[in-house]
Amino acid sequence: MADEITLEVARYRPGVDAEPVMQQYQVPLREHWAILDGLTYIKDQLDGTLSFRWSCRMGICGSCGMTVNGEPQLSCATFLTDYAPGPIRVEPLRNFPVIRDLVVDIDDFMTKLPTVKPWVIRDVDEPVEAGEYLQTPEELDDYKQFSMCLNCMLCYSACPVYSLDQDFIGPAAIALAQRYNLDSRDEGAEERRAVLTSPEGIWACTFVGECSAACPKGVDPAGAIQRYKLTAATQSIKELLMPRIKR
Amino acid sequence: MSVYQRPVKLFWWLEKRSYVIFVLRELSSVFIAWFVVFLLLLVNAIGDGAASYQTFVDWSGQWWVVAINVIAFLFVLLHTVTWFALAPRAMVIKMRGTRVPAQGVVAAHYLAWFVLSAVVAWVVLR
């Protein structure tokens, strides 16, 4: 195995560069080093001006999403040796404005997320003395997959619909809405419905499926969206046939 | 704050195989619509009598109509096969508390397709 590998890193310095330029760095090729370790090496040893986000280094925080050789990846969970002999092209996540180098602006998602009310909503809250809202393992299984979302934005980066229409609420936000809609303790599906069934919601999704392919946690946002399409369509037909049905 | 927004290329959908298949599947809807129009024209011709039906059959036999229909058929196949493959992701069916496996949902779709085709063939050919 070679001792080093080349990282081609996108550099964008606002006010200096009109668009990102690629810069090459030689980093040690170590068996257990992820792309993030390579970037940390660059920052510590070669070029302190390189900017990137990271936090936990163990695929939990969702901070270090980047485009590696054209694919959205968590840079802490993507290993240098898998790309040997290189070079490895590291770019910021696509479909987001680039603030600097590998740092993207995710304000759009942060604005959209609360609109789907991703929290447990109850018609009437039970008093604390009544104890926990109990749930069976089967009921947990109904939504557990969707609760694994890290908000890492890889799905938005992979989604061509979002790249063409930035009003689209997007895969993660809809999957998180479904996480609560499918939770037996939740009674807020009706409150989420208007946003989810709006033109910017589920119907904007054309089921490319790349969000699910990119997801590092197997959340399957595309599946969540299609499931909700079926739910929403069934509900609309029921209301059309039985207008007096209670929502 | 000056930020950089990567432009979307006109041929972005050629960058990945999955994007190409997706765009072809979207395009297949046009051919589905064509088949609906073709079927309506056929029904209309039959309704107008034997002479009208014969005119329609002659028109349908022209090389370019046959060519369009062959291409349309291939797109309809693509549409159907990819649609059926995706169905289990949208349909979560539980039997006795256990989720029906994806293969079961796909098989049910193909079975329904086969049965409906057989019924149509029986009506047309009997």
Distance in Å, alpha carbon of B48 to nearest chain A alpha carbon: 35
8 Å CB contact of B4 and A20:
yes
Domain end point (choices A104, A129, A159):
A104
Amino acid, res. B124 = V
**Dist CA A135 CA A132 (whole Å):** 9
- Least Cα distance to A166 among A213, A108, A117, A100 occurs for A108
8 Å CB contact of A226 and B89:
yes
Q: Identify the H or E element spanning B22.
A: helix B17-47
Q: Are residues B62 and B110 in the same domain?
A: no
Q: Are residues B71 and B98 in the same domain?
A: no
Cα-based distances in Å from A236 to A201, A243, B88, B111: 16, 10, 21, 27
Tell me if A53 is assigned to some domain. yes
A150-171 pLDDT, tens digit each? 999 999 999 999 999 999 999 9
**Dist CA A72 CA B41 (whole Å):** 48
Boundaries of domain holding B10: 1-75
Q: Are residues A39 and A70 in the same domain?
A: yes
Q: Are residues A64 and A128 in the same domain?
A: no
Boundaries of domain holding A56: 4-104
Domain end point (choices A49, A75, A104):
A104
Residue of B nearest to A208 (CA): B22
CATH number of the domain where residue A62 is located: 3.10.20.30
Tell me if B80 is assigned to some domain. no
Residue A247 has pLDDT above 60, yes or no: no
* Structural contact between residues A20 and A62, judged by C-beta atoms closer than 8 angstroms: no
Q: Are residues A79 and A178 in the same domain?
A: no
Q: Are residues A94 and A123 in the same domain?
A: no
A51-61 pLDDT, tens digit each? 999 999 999 99
Distance in Å, alpha carbon of A97 to nearest chain B alpha carbon: 5
The total number of structural domains that make up chain B: 2
Q: Are residues A192 and A224 in the same domain?
A: yes
State the pTM of this model. 0.88
ipTM: 0.77
CATH number of the domain where residue A114 is located: 1.10.1060.10
Cα-based distances in Å from A142 to A139, A146, A175, A181: 5, 9, 13, 10
Rounded average pLDDT over A121-139: 90
